[in-house]
Each structure stands twice: as C-alpha cells, then as structure tokens.
Amino acid sequence: MGYDVPEGVEIRGRYDEEFGGILSKDALQFVADLQREFKKDIEYAMDCRKEAQERYNNRELPGFDPATKLIRDGDWVCAAVPLPLADRRVEITGPVDRKMVINALNSGAKVFMADFEDALSPTWENLMRGQVNLRDAINGTIMFHDKGRDRVYKLNQHIATLFVRPRGWHLPEAHILIDGHPATACLVDFGLYFYHNHSLFRQTQGKGFGPFFYLPKMEHSREANIWNSVFEKAEKVAGIDKGSIRATVLIETLPAVFQMDEILHELKDHSAGLNCGRWDYIFSYIKTFQAHPDRLLPDRVQVSMTQHFMKSYSDLLIRTCHRRAVHAMGGMAAQIPIKDDPEANEAAMELVRKDKLREVEAGHDGTWAAHPGLIPTIMEVFNSRMGDTANQIQDEAVAAGACTEADLLQLPRGVRTMEGLRLNIRVGIQYLAAWLKGVGSVPLYGLMEDAATAEISRAQIWQWLKYGAYLDGDELGVKVTPSLFDRVVAEEMARIASEVGKDRFDSGRYDEACNLFSRQCLAPKLDDFLTLDAYNKIVVVV
C-alpha cells in the first residue's frame, strides 16, 4: 500500500490510511504547483537573508530602507477588517494535537492559533495528525477520548476563530520530495490545510472570508511578497475572491521591525495586522549582532517589554498597524496556572495582569496566552479598557510618537548571572530533549516554553562564550569560558535527572539533547536555527 502521488512527488513518511485522506493526489499536486512556481523566489529570499547577516557581521546596523521611504510616508491603508476578525482581544496558541485543538477552541479566547511552527516538533506523525485534527475541527466532528481520565472532549457550540501558523520559509519538509528535493515546509503546511478546508471554513467561521493565517520568521518585505503571491494563486485555484485569505505577520526578527510598513504594503489585500513575537525578537537581536561584542545581553529574564528597545518595538508596531487600519497584536503570556500553590499562582497571575494592562493601555488590539487558565484574567484586563469596542484601531490617543533607529537598537540594561546561565542550560536541554521525542510545547518552571525560548537560551550562551562575558551580577564576576560551561552543564544535567526522576531521565533523550545543545553553544559560528540541526534527528524515512 502507498500514497497515490502526482508526477514528481515522493512521500517518504509512513503510510497511514487516515493520512491518505490529507495526502490526496490533488492536494499534493496543489502543493507541488506552489513549490515549482515559487521555489526560485524563496531561494533568492534566503540568499538575501545570508547577505544581510554578512553585512551585520561586518558591523553594519539594520535600519529603515531609504529606497522604500515613499511607502512609509504614503497615506494608504490595508483592506478593511472582515467582521469575523474585528474582535481579537485574547488569542490562545498551541500545537495541533487533538486534545489541544479542542480545548483551545473551547477556551473562551476569541482566536486559536493552531501552530505547525515553534510549538510543534515536526515529526511526520505530528504534522499529518495535525492536518487531520484541523480538518475534523472545521468539519465539527473532532472528538478525543482521554482513557486515563475516562473523559470525552468535543467542541462547544461557540468556539474560537481558527488561525493556522505554518512553518517558516527556511525550513524543509524532508518527508515529501518534489522533483527530487525536500518540499518547502510552509508550503506543505499551508497547501494541505488550504486545499482541504478553504470551502467549509469560509461557509462557517469565515463568513465569506478565510482561511486565516499567522506568518512567522520574516526578515524582509520580499518574503511577504512571496506569501502574497502564494495567496493570490491559491485564491485563483479555489475560485474565491482576491483578498479572501487574511494573515497576521509576526514581527519577531530585528530586521523586520524596520520593514513593517513595507510588509503590510505587500500584503495589503490579505493583511490582518502584525504581532509582537517578542521571544523570537530577543533571539533575533542576539543573532543579528552575533559579531558585535559591545551588544551582549543581560539574563533573558531581564529583557522584558519595559526595556527601551522592546517598548520602542511595541510602540512602533501599534502606530504602524493603526495607521494602516489593521490589528496590532501583543505578545505571549507564557505563565502556567500553579494549582498546588495559591500564593505562587496569584503572584504569577499578577505578572500577567500587569503585562496585559501595559499592552492594552499602549494600544494593542489583542494579545496572546499560552494556557486556557489565563484567558479569564487577560480577558478581564482587556475588557476593562476596551469595553464593548471590538478593537482600538481608530483610537489615535494611544498612538506612539516618533521612533528612531537608535530607539530600536538600544542595548538593554541589566546584568548577567550564574543563575541566568544555569537557567538557559536547563531550559535549553530539557526543551530539546522533549522536541526530539516529538513534543514542541513544554511546561518548565512555571512557563510554557517553545522553540523561541530555547533559541534565546542557546544563542545567549553562545554569545557569552564567544566574547568571554563576565557574570557581572554575581559578586565573584566569573568569566564565561568553555571549561565553566562544561562544568555547569554537568551540574545541571544532574539537577535535571533529580527533578524528572531516574526512569524518565533514562528513557528520555536528555544525553542526546545535551550533546546537541552543547555543540551549538560551543560552535565557532552561530547556527541560524537550533531546530535545523535537530531536525535531521526526527526525520524517519520509510
């Protein structure tokens, strides 16, 4: 038995009859057509990323492009916001496993962003089952029987509006070959989902619009241009109106913050605003300035939205979006409710309240939560400021003032500590161990961690090692060296083993994760993405 594939397409993942419903010949032909049409454009965009990084490595700073000043200064707006997307004040995000999809859609949030990217380990099983789960959710037939709890999960009458986040342009899908080469992962995620679900989604949730997407990891408007062309082709193939598809772009790279007007302009008819992807943004700051020893960051817990460069990024995003008549979405609340410690739980919820109050008062139209337990708290904060108003797009009183390149590049203040180093190691190794076993969203130390925070941990340690940073927040002022790193890794591995227990540690992939994480931290050159190196370890070819 095997998949019925069109010419030039090879499926190297395990055969499953249920997966066959997703990997139909026509759906694969649609994906292959996208790949063939846009392959050269994608390759060029990735080459441009490398060239830009080389310039930054030669001490050039990112900034606003003089060539596109007319776009930034122009008096234009994006297409009108569709009614189903008017109110997005609280959005929940999470991977596409079956129980999560049901709980997120039932959570009381306005939107559920189903994630094929940072919250998902892209194993063949996860990807294909995720497509099945989203199809069943849109059909209204999705159910899940938790045998351990003897509980059946199914959809409520009123559910969140579904967005889907495909993987970034840089990632391959090694289980699907098109003309002998791995498919572009985001075109697989987008293509399979769109092909099977666009019609019913538009009849139900979309009310004549949709489907809706989140687009990650962009660095330049040329990448938005490719997405816009992909959307136009998909709409043409499906026979639906231009501008039916809508997408929110995550501004989660430092180069992209200087391209926000240009990105919105490229996606004009398809835009659903921008989002502050703040964890990846911190990672991108380190990555962009990897050759700048004068830009070493403090402990990652100190790089909050109150830092000047982060506040400037948020303010500029709000002003840009509202000027162009689209949503400005806030960042992730990653806290997890603490059930067995009411005092600690209240302290965590208070942090969430303060963060979300800051966002809504700054002018954000909505925000993200990682856990259903946070929804009531966040909803209360946004309701108290916005009332019955669907969004703040027309509220000029909250628009930020002028924001300069210097504001966006200012070095964050703070100190580096031994505990910061230890936390980076613990989080990085434990997340990677889970990812290698197929879990992409991991609760660790009161927070829901995904690939973005693991990337910060890895890149920050690399940066400290590369330039021999001193842990200036500690009384001893220890210098970060390879020998210190090796010693601390050994100590933290012992701590992880103690925390998770011997059986779980022995059956996990902690040693493998430790070796991979350590190798990347000690590498002479910073790898672009932690998951690119790790991806080869989860590809199973049959």
Burial class (CB in 10 A: 0-12, 13-18, 19+), 182: middle
Region 411-427: what's the mean pLDDT? Answer: 96
Q: What is the pTM of this model?
A: 0.97
Condensed to tens digits (0 to 9), the pLDDT of residues 140-182 reads 999 999 998 999 999 999 999 999 999 999 999 999 999 999 9
Alpha-carbon distance values, 351 to 94, 222, 376 (Å): 21, 37, 14
pLDDT band at 401 (very low <50, low <70, confident <90, very high): low
pLDDT at 400 > cutoff 60:
no
Q: What percent of the chain has pLDDT over 90?
A: 96
SS3 string, 277-328, reads CHHHHHHHHHHHCCCCCCCCCCCHHHCCCCCHHHHHHHHHHHHHHHHCCCCE
Structure tokens at 450: 């995904």
pLDDT the model gives residue 396 = 58
pLDDT at 212 > cutoff 90:
yes
**What's the CA gap between 235 and 121, in Å, rounded?**
29
Condensed to tens digits (0 to 9), the pLDDT of residues 382-398 reads 999 999 999 999 975 44
In sequence order, the 6+-apart residues with CB closer than 8 A to the CB of 393 are 81, 321, 322, 325, 326, 327, 328, 365
**What's the CA gap between 288 and 310, in Å, rounded?**
15
Condensed to tens digits (0 to 9), the pLDDT of residues 494-541 reads 999 999 999 999 999 999 999 999 999 999 999 999 999 899 999 999
Cis link prior to 211 (omega < 30° from 0)?
A: yes
Residue 165: active-site member? yes
pLDDT at 227 > cutoff 70:
yes
pLDDT the model gives residue 374 = 96
Phi, psi of 199 (to 5 degrees): -65, -55
Region 78-104: what's the mean pLDDT? Answer: 97
pLDDT at 106 > cutoff 90:
yes
pLDDT band at 476 (very low <50, low <70, confident <90, very high): confident
Q: Average per-residue pLDDT in the chain?
A: 96
pLDDT band at 346 (very low <50, low <70, confident <90, very high): very high
pLDDT at 413 > cutoff 90:
yes
Condensed to tens digits (0 to 9), the pLDDT of residues 87-98 reads 999 999 999 999
Region 189-216: what's the mean pLDDT? Answer: 98
pLDDT the model gives residue 372 = 95
Helices 25-57 and 278-288, packing angle to 10 deg: 50
Looking at this protein, which amino acid is placed at residue 233? K
Q: What percent of the chain has pLDDT over 70?
A: 99
> Catalytic residue among 49, 129, 135, 165, which?
165
Which residues make beta-bridge pairs with 449?
442
Give the torsion through C-alpha atoms of 122, 128, 132, 138, to 10 deg. Answer: 50
Condensed to tens digits (0 to 9), the pLDDT of residues 289-306 reads 999 999 999 999 999 999
Give exposure, 370-404, as e/b (b: 16+ Cβ within 10 Å). bbbbbbebbbebbeebbeeebbbbeeeebebeebe
pLDDT the model gives residue 395 = 74
Residue 65's SS3 state is coil
Could you please report the per-residue DSSP string of 417-431?
Answer: -HHHHHHHHHHHHHH
pLDDT the model gives residue 474 = 84
> Catalytic residue among 189, 315, 450, 458, which?
450
Region 17-42: what's the mean pLDDT? Answer: 98
**What's the CA gap between 520 and 399, in Å, rounded?**
41
Residue 26: active-site member? no
Region 422-426: what's the mean pLDDT? Answer: 97
pLDDT band at 399 (very low <50, low <70, confident <90, very high): very low
Q: Are 454 and 462 contacting, i.e. CB atoms less than 8 angstroms apart? A: no
Alpha-carbon distance values, 103 to 92, 209, 213, 240 (Å): 10, 24, 19, 31
**Strand runs labelled E in 197-280:** 212-215, 246-251, 271-276
**What's the CA gap between 169 and 226, in Å, rounded?**
10
Helices 185-203 and 124-139, packing angle to 10 deg: 10
Region 202-220: what's the mean pLDDT? Answer: 97
